[in-house]
Amino acid sequence: MTRRVLIAGNWKMNGSLAKNALLLSELCNGMHDFAGCEVAVCVPFPYLAQVQSALQTSSIAWGAQDVSGYAVGAYTGEVSAAMLKDFSCGFGLVGHSERRVYHAESDAVVAQKTLRLLEVGITPIVCVGETLDERNAGMTETVVARQLSAVLSVIEKSALSNIVVAYEPVWAIGTGVTATPAMAQQVHAFLRGQLALVNVESAQKVRILYGGSMKPDNAAALLQMEDIDGGLIGGASLKSGEFLSIVAAGR
């Protein structure tokens, strides 16, 4: 089964109007001939309008890095899925490890956020991944299965093919240490097996991205693996040359 590769940038808390304008124009100019690959950037909330206007005539999609688990109401500081839809977001990250760790997001909260995005037709990119201690304790599969099943247990079976999963081992994020293609493939295959417990056919369609120090020099080897259907790129998504090289590897 060939799934269309998705390369998504996660800008995290970086950027400014001026820096974004430059990066976005470099991305648009460099995006010729990447027909085989879907590309997106997930940006800080205040820049959604800028990104929408800069990318609306390009083939690059955009999205947010988080969303409220609530639909509407008295939740100061929160941003709803409907608001993201107003800016034509195609994607929304949920459950990034930096949200889980710094904002104490539980599996249940991540599941609610996923539901909110699905309700408005935005594709959730559900992030899962183990810490180094968990890996060393042989807990990788237990941890990612728990994180994923919290989401799978609340969504409609028919919505399964509308999600994207991102495997991001915490120890590989921003560290320059990446999982080897074989290590990542093993977890991706396990995750696909978990998806197949819900629906075998849809599980084949779900894209499972790898994230964690994906760079131009390791992207091709990772993307070659059977169950690695794209990448979620942090640091390298802030440099147009590096990001476009990764996109080229995903073609």
Task: Please report, as ranges, the residues that interact with ligand 13P according to CB under 6 A.
Answer: 10, 96, 168, 173-174, 211-214, 232-236
From 96, 98, 130, 134, active-site residue: 96
Residue 233 beta carbon to ligand 13P: minimum distance, rounded to whole angstroms: 5
From 98, 130, 168, 242, active-site residue: 168
User: Long-range CB contacts (< 8 A, 24+ apart) of 132-135?
Assistant: 132/170, 132/171, 135/169, 135/171
Residue 158 beta carbon to ligand 13P: minimum distance, rounded to whole angstroms: 27
Cα separation of the two ends of the chain: 16
Residue 185 beta carbon to ligand 13P: minimum distance, rounded to whole angstroms: 18
Residue 8 beta carbon to ligand 13P: minimum distance, rounded to whole angstroms: 8
User: In the block, which residue shows the tokens 């802030």?
Assistant: 238
Considering beta carbons, is residue 153 or 230 the nearer one to ligand 13P? Answer: 230
Considering beta carbons, is residue 24 or 246 the nearer one to ligand 13P? Answer: 246
Instruction: Tell me if residue 201 is catalytic.
Output: no
Instruction: Tell me if residue 168 is catalytic.
Output: yes
Residue 69 sits at φ, ψ, to 5 deg, of -80, -10
- Closest residue to ligand 13P, judged by C-beta, is 234
Its sign, for the CA torsion 60, 65, 70, 73, is negative
Give residue 44's Cα distance to chain centre.
14
Residue 243 sits at φ, ψ, to 5 deg, of -60, -45
105 CB-near residues (< 8 Å, 6+ apart): 95, 99
Q: Taking the CB of residue 230, how many other CB atoms lie within 10 A of it?
A: 30
Residue 18 beta carbon to ligand 13P: minimum distance, rounded to whole angstroms: 22
Considering beta carbons, is residue 73 or 96 the nearer one to ligand 13P? Answer: 96
Considering beta carbons, is residue 36 or 174 the nearer one to ligand 13P? Answer: 174
Considering beta carbons, is residue 70 or 130 the nearer one to ligand 13P? Answer: 130
Per DSSP, the residues of 206-249 read SEEEEESS--HHHHHHHHTSTT--EEEESGGGGSHHHHHHHHHH
Residue count of the chain? 251
Per DSSP, the residues of 118-167 read HHHTPEEEEEE---HHHHHTT-HHHHHHHHHHHHHTTS-GGGGGG-EEEE
Considering beta carbons, is residue 69 or 211 the nearer one to ligand 13P? Answer: 211
Residue 38 beta carbon to ligand 13P: minimum distance, rounded to whole angstroms: 16
Residues involved in catalysis: 96, 168
